Structure 1
Amino acid sequence: MSPPRAPQPTSITVHQASRVLEVGFDDGARFRIPFELMRVYSPSAEVQGHGPGQETLQTGKREVLVEALEPVGHYGVRPSFSDGHDSGIYTWEYLYRLGADEAALWQRYEDNLAAAGVDRDAPMPPKPGRACGSHHS
């Protein structure tokens, strides 16, 4: 038996004014995924880190826009966000999960913000210099 096939998108629309990515899937599901949610949960290493607990909490992304959406093979898209972030590849499965679990993901984001004591609209701190573990004093 082959593994169950992930739902495939039948339509993708970028709504700049309402800042949502509307995705319709072939199982009948239709999601309007906020750009902010997509950006906060970017699957890129820059956001997710390289292992559990290494995630970088994203803030100040409420106004972020998706300026371009580039197809990646037959399995996903790579959005270019207005804050310059463009290294996340969103598979159809990942977009489906963002849409299906939106309420839980927002709650987790709010909890993470509260735990870190930062505001959702706080500007991101500047990226630290690329330290390679060798500190010369």
Structure 2
Amino acid sequence: MVAVERSFIVTAPRAVLVDYLKDFSHAQEWDPGTRTCERVDAGAVRVGSTWTNVSVFRGRETRLTYRLVRMDEGRLVFVGENTSVTTTDDLLLTPVPDGTLLTYRARLDFKGWRKLAAPFLRKDFDRLADEVERAMPRVLGKL
């Protein structure tokens, strides 16, 4: 298992951020590793909505199916899965005087023999989390 966490303040109100972030297809705008992210189902975004996400990590393309598993006024949780890994993106949004404190947590649980590689990938995931921390406030600040 590899987990990363980053926190930063965004000037947009929490409700605006939740409305934008609940549609995981926007990940291609704020996640530098995401190449494409397309909604699979139709209708309003709700718990259970799904997306196909194609990301590149360490030069390799990977495809995951993400599902929105929690949507509250201050928290969104997405779980992505394929045969190699289960990922959890947990977004906590807390009102603060200058806007919204966004705490971004990502967790990767590798499956099978891939669990052995987790300690060796820690630095790469930290670098990716740093890139998200730089990109996300820039994108969300425009909302």
Q: TM-score, normalised by structure 1?
A: 0.30
More strand by share: 2
More helix by share: 2
Q: TM-score, normalised by structure 2?
A: 0.29
Higher relative contact order (CA 8 A, sep 6+): 2
